[in-house]
Each structure stands twice: as structure tokens, then as C-alpha cells.
Structure 1
Amino acid sequence: MTEPAPGIELRLQLRRTNFALDVALSLPAQGVAVVFGPSGSGKSTLLRAIAGLEPAARGELRIGGETWQDAHVRLPPHRRRAGVVFQHAALLPHLSVHDNLRYGWRRAGAPTSVMQEWIDKLALGPLLARPPATLSGGERQRVALGRALVCQPRWLLLDEPLSALDAERRAEILPYLEAIRRETRIPLLYVTHAVEEATRLADHLVLLEAGRVRIAGPALEVLNRSDLPLALRDDAASVIEASVLGHDGHGLLRLDTPAGTLHAHGPAHPAGTRVRLRVQARDVSVALSAHADTSVLNIVPAVLQALSPLPNGQLQLQLQAGGLPLLARVSHQSALRLQLREGLAVWAQIKSVALLV
């Protein structure tokens, strides 16, 4: 039997006048680990400490059995083989795109084939002769990704790489990030405060608060925890993995989920494609019987497990639908009229399903 690849183990501390970072984590050596949290929680500081860019950071860091830092070893940044992409691409303005790529590639001593591989995968060919000043924000970030990847990094570190982009440019970059996750064995550490990015990309999710780990674990488990701050946000949602059953030709997918068949608008993926869905609590209502005379397509049987008051005067309902956790939000008046209580069998009416490709 093949032994699993060694994972990533870290324990890093950094103390400043008004802030202390103290993080211990065990992460998989493949897939995307998303570090999520509010501004000031220490996300970027943690990433910089991993990259060796925080000289005052102390502790241990091992990836795949290789020690980058401990009481006796402290590899400088250029020897850690960590590819780093920041919020702003920081390309060398006097060099063309091609020469920006070559700059990192030559220093790393990577094979020629690696350069061409990432030029092709990131669709950089048409940009190679252009200077960075002529690129869009999305194009600059693609070049920054390529510059990091042609160095054959052991770990790819991304510090809010989409936060400076508009929605159209973010949508342009996300498929490339998903392709990196899908087609390579390079682990990614992805820092963000955007729940949409965390929901779409994360295999493993780390919730950071005030320089410490609040919780870390498989992404869907953490995202669907009802006792965490994510569940209290205005955009609180359940995250579901599903398999494509078919497409109606009008932009509507049929999806197989543990709760039954759901419908969502999205691209015509082939049958069997695994996708991730995000169902916001504000888009879920409940009824005591199933109604056929409604425009709502997604109506599934569920059991009400808990009712919790929210600061805005509403109630948040925790539902189980075929073993699938769902959140719903209703008014106190609706809860009284329907006599909602724990253990009650209801029908969850899902008005909108966001397909996260």
C-alpha cells in the first residue's frame, strides 16, 4: 500500500505591540487550504511568516517532510520554494510579460518545458510581448500566477489575489485557480476575507480570529457549522456538493444531492460533473405541506432541528434534508403562525441556488 504524502505542519508565533500571532496547524499537502477571517485577524501575517518574510516569526514549519524552520533551521525566503502571489501583482514594469516569467524561472533553474506548460495553461501566449502597464488587472494576476508557478514551488501562497479586481475580473481568474487545484499536486494556501471565494475554492478551511485559529477542518464541515460566526452573517449559507444529472438547454441544470434533485442555473456541464452549491439562508423558506402551484422548483422534505434568534429580530432555522444541513430565516410571526418547533417535519422551499463552478 502506498504511504500518504507527508502533510504540512506548522506552529508559528509573532508578537508585536498591539498584535500577537500564535497559530498551530496541520494541513493536507494537496488541495486548497483557505485562511478566512476579518481584517486584522492575522491572515496576511501568517502567509508572510510561512514565506519567510517575517524575520521576527518564531516556531516550526515542515512541508512534505522538509523542514523550512525550527529551533535550528531557518531557510531564507528564496530557499523555501514558496510561490507567492499578492493582492497587487508587483510585476517588474520595465520587463515584458515573457521576461517577467523568465526572471523567476531562470533563478529557480526549472526545465524549459515548465515555462511553456504554464504559458499554455494560463493562456498567456497573446500577452508575452506586452509590458505590464498595458494589462488589465485580471491579466496582471494571471501573469503573477504564472511567474510563481514556473518556479515549480513546493507551496503556492496567495494573499487576497482577487480583492483588487472587479466582479468580472474575479470571475475570469477563478477558473484558472480551480484548474491549478485540479491539475497539479501543488498545495495552495489562499488568504481571503470573501466568503464567496472561500466557499468556491476551499478543500480545507481555517477560520482565524485575533491571530489564533478559531477552527480548522474540511471545508464543507466548517462552512456548514451553525455555531460559528459564518452562520450569523447576512449572507449565511449552506454549502452542498452535487453531481450534474443533466441540462435543459435553457441554462437550468438538474443536480443530484443528498436532499434530492435540485435545479440551478449554470453552464451545461456534462452529466456526472461534481459541482458545489451555495444556498443562502435568506433564500430558503419553510412550509408544512408541499405546494405544486408555485414557481419555486426546489422543494425538499426536511426536519427542523433548532430555532435560534437573530439580532435583526428574525429566527434562524437549522434544517436537515436527507442528511443535508440547510439554514432558513423566518420572522417570529411566521414561526408562531406555523407553530414551528424542534423535530417538526417541514418542506424547505429553496428560491435560489448559487452554482459555484
Structure 2
Amino acid sequence: MILDVDIRHEQGAFVLEASFQSNGKLTALFGPSGSGKTTIVNAIGGLVRLDHGRIHVQEQVLVDTEKYIFVPKHRRRIGYVFQEGRLFPHLNVRQNLLFGRWFTPRRDRKTRFDDVVDLLGIGRLLERRPSTLSGGEKQRVAIGRALLADPRLLLMDEPLASLDDARKAEIFPYIERLRDEGRVPIVLVSHSVAEIARLATFVVLLSEGRVTASGPAADVLRHPHLFVPPGLAEAGALIEARILRHEDSFGLTVLQAKAGPLTVPRLMQPIGAGLRVRLRARDIMLSLQEPVGMSALNVLPGHISSIESAEGASVDVQLDCSGDALVARVTRKSVEELGLKPGLAIYAIIKSIAFDPEALGAVKSPHP
């Protein structure tokens, strides 16, 4: 188990009681402000001394209050990346990166400087000072500094919160590479559904100091009723695909998923690249017959696996499309008039322009 947390802690009137286990490469802590996300990462990093509980990281006991175990933060080998890069302004990028080495004994130094520089694409920045870097570049350097300390775990407390959309787009691919190619598991704090849909492999939902749900990202994001309070998220499926071809004359790209081919607006990635795609429930229509003579380019056959209550007049219809789990949000009236029920064969219809671009991310090993 990568991360095992079972803690209780009081800060003034706020009481945190959180328990979860994760084997995910990137575990996202998600919830509204004041739900306890930052307190959890601070407890993992040793910045908070807990009242009660235990924390294990990759089978190492960091905290166990019953056994009076509290490993000091400087001995935990936990990397921490904050909202701001917090680089030393008087040092250049190379010197900032090497600063991370000082806290790791030589015998434990396994991460190569050049490998980190290549992974994060910061080779051309090495001689520059932090004042000359963009927000995204600063965050990449801060991640590199943390990695060069050879951490057992990397904590990222809303590392994209202070960046504009352009800088976020710049850093997303590097976090994806770190998740898929790096040796260090990540815990990410986020307020953004699109962000966790793109990056997370495991999600822990928090509200008012309690864990309301946890599990693989694809499972949790299909069930918005797990989010407390309601309205934090909308239902959506996460599927993996690869780029099959580009249709440049139409400005389109065709993806291949287990569910079938998907046509989306033109992407810049090369043919064969793996992608994680989020399909929002509100963008999917259902038909009992295979539709003809319509403008939507994506029609996926499947069957209904379950029907769940949603909000007001709506329900979420869970679908199995050749092994890809999708969800469509329809009205209760539609369910009744179409006779929708578990096991029924159905066609999912998705407009090409309906794909969520913010949640479109890279994956290392897509399904064929």
C-alpha cells in the first residue's frame, strides 16, 4: 500500500477525522475550502503533529500515536510542492535544483540530475534566475528540486492554483509524465474537477473534515452524488483511447477506445498517442435504435448497467460500452417513455464538440 491514513486531529473548532488507503500513482484530495485537504498533506509531510492516528507511506510508519511514533519531517523524505514555487531568488535554476540534494544522504541519492531535467523539460533554464521564469517554469523547477531529494512521496498542494490557463496547459504534460514515468507516487490537492479528471488515478473526497468517498478516479467521477455538498462536480466518465488518425480537411481527430471510435476536434498529439478522455453525462443522449441521418458523429453501442438518482427531474444512466463505463444524464420522463432498465441494449450519442478539453490528458499505456 502506497498510502495508509487513519487520523483524528483538532484545530480550534475544526475536527478532522479521515481514513483512506490508496495504491494510486496520483492520489487527489478533493473538496471545498476548509474540508481538511491541506491539513492531511501537512500531517503526511510532518508539518502538523497529530492528536491521534497513524500514517504509513510505502509501508514505512511515519506516525502512530498509540506507539508514540512521530518521524521528524526532515527524516521522512517527503517532497512538498506549494502553490508558489518558493525558489531561492539569489540562486539560479541549477543551484535551486541541487539544493534538494543536501537533505538526502549520499547513499540514498538515486535520482539522476539529468533525468529530472529531461523529465521536466527545464534544460534551457538552468542558468536563469527565478525572477526571469514564468509561473509554470517556476513550478516545474520546484517539482524538480523536490524530486532530487529522492522522496518516497511527493505532496502537491494546489500547485496550479496560482497559474493562468496558459501556464496550466504548459505544466499539465509534465505532471502526467511524472505520474506515468516517474518512480515517486504523488498526492495532489485540488479544487478542480477537470484537473483531477485529467491527472488523478485515485480520488479522496472530503467535506467538513470527513472522507465522503474514495476510490479509482473513473469510479468516483461517474457518481456525483458522492460529492458533498452537491454541485461540486458533474457526472462524467473517464476512458482511455489512442489517436487513430487525423482528418485535417475537417479539423477533426479520430480516437480509438474500447467503446469504439470517437471523433473530436483536431488534436495536436501524434497518431498512436495515448489519451485520457472525459465524457460528461450531460453531453450524452440515448437511443433505442441505431440512429441514422443525424449530425452527431459518435454513436457507441452498449447496454444499461444501472440507473441512479441524480438531481431533481434527472437520473444518471450507467452504461457499459464494450468494457468502457459511460454515464448519461437524462430526465425521469425519458426513462419512463423509453422503458430504460438495466440490461437493455442502447446507443450512446455524443457530439464531437462536446468533449471536455480541460480534462483531456495523456496516458502512457492506452487501451488498443
* TM-score normalised by the chain length of structure 1: 0.87
Deviations for 1:3-47, whole angstroms, at most 9, x for unmatched residues?
Answer: xxx53323222112221112222222x611111112211111100
| 3-state SS of paired residue (1:289) | coil
Q: Which runs of 5+ in 2 are unaligned?
A: 363-368
Stretch moving more, 291-300 or 153-162: 291-300
| 3-state SS of paired residue (1:102) | helix
Matched residue count: 348
Residue 214 of structure 2 is aligned to residue 220 of structure 1: no
Given that 1:232 and 1:310 are in contact with CA atoms closer than 8 Å, whether structure 2 keeps it comes out as no
Given that 1:14 and 1:22 are in contact with CA atoms closer than 8 Å, whether structure 2 keeps it comes out as yes
Q: What residue is the counterpart of 1:287 in the other structure?
A: 287
Structure 2 distance, partners of 1:297, 1:201, is 27
Stretch moving more, 74-83 or 19-28: 19-28
Q: What residue is the counterpart of 1:353 in the other structure?
A: 355
Given that 1:7 and 1:64 are in contact with CA atoms closer than 8 Å, whether structure 2 keeps it comes out as yes
Q: What residue is the counterpart of 1:194 in the other structure?
A: 192
1:108-257 aligned within 5 A:
108-109=104-105, 111=109, 114-225=112-223, 227-229=225-227, 235-249=234-248, 252-257=252-257
Given that 2:77 and 2:151 are in contact with CA atoms closer than 8 Å, whether structure 1 keeps it comes out as yes
Given that 1:208 and 1:214 are in contact with CA atoms closer than 8 Å, whether structure 2 keeps it comes out as yes
Q: What residue is the counterpart of 1:15 in the other structure?
A: 10
| 3-state SS of paired residue (2:90) | coil
Q: What residue is the counterpart of 1:3 in the other structure?
A: none
Report deviation, 1:283.
Answer: 1.4
Report deviation, 1:340.
Answer: 4.8
Backbone CA RMSD of aligned residues = 2.7
Letter in 2 for 1:261: P
1:314-333 aligned within 5 A:
314-330=314-330
Given that 1:301 and 1:321 are in contact with CA atoms closer than 8 Å, whether structure 2 keeps it comes out as yes
Indicate the percent of aligned positions where both proteins have the same amino acid. 38
| 3-state SS of paired residue (2:289) | coil
Q: Which runs of 5+ in 1 are unaligned?
A: 1-5
Structure 1 distance, partners of 2:201, 2:308, is 29
| 3-state SS of paired residue (1:200) | helix
Given that 2:225 and 2:310 are in contact with CA atoms closer than 8 Å, whether structure 1 keeps it comes out as no
Structure 2 distance, partners of 1:107, 1:186, is 17
Structure 2 distance, partners of 1:102, 1:328, is 50
Seen in structure 2, the aligned counterparts of structure 1 residues 324 and 129 have a Cα distance that, compared at 3 Å, is closer
Deviations for 1:108-133, whole angstroms, at most 9, x for unmatched residues?
Answer: 24559722322232222222232222
Q: What residue is the counterpart of 1:261 in the other structure?
A: 261
Q: What residue is the counterpart of 1:26 in the other structure?
A: 21
Q: What residue is the counterpart of 1:94 in the other structure?
A: 90
* TM-score normalised by the chain length of structure 2: 0.84
Structure 2 distance, partners of 1:279, 1:113, is 37
Given that 1:307 and 1:341 are in contact with CA atoms closer than 8 Å, whether structure 2 keeps it comes out as no
Structure 2 distance, partners of 1:212, 1:234, is 18
Residue 125 of structure 2 is aligned to residue 103 of structure 1: no
Stretch moving more, 198-207 or 231-240: 231-240
Given that 1:206 and 1:217 are in contact with CA atoms closer than 8 Å, whether structure 2 keeps it comes out as yes
Given that 2:247 and 2:253 are in contact with CA atoms closer than 8 Å, whether structure 1 keeps it comes out as yes
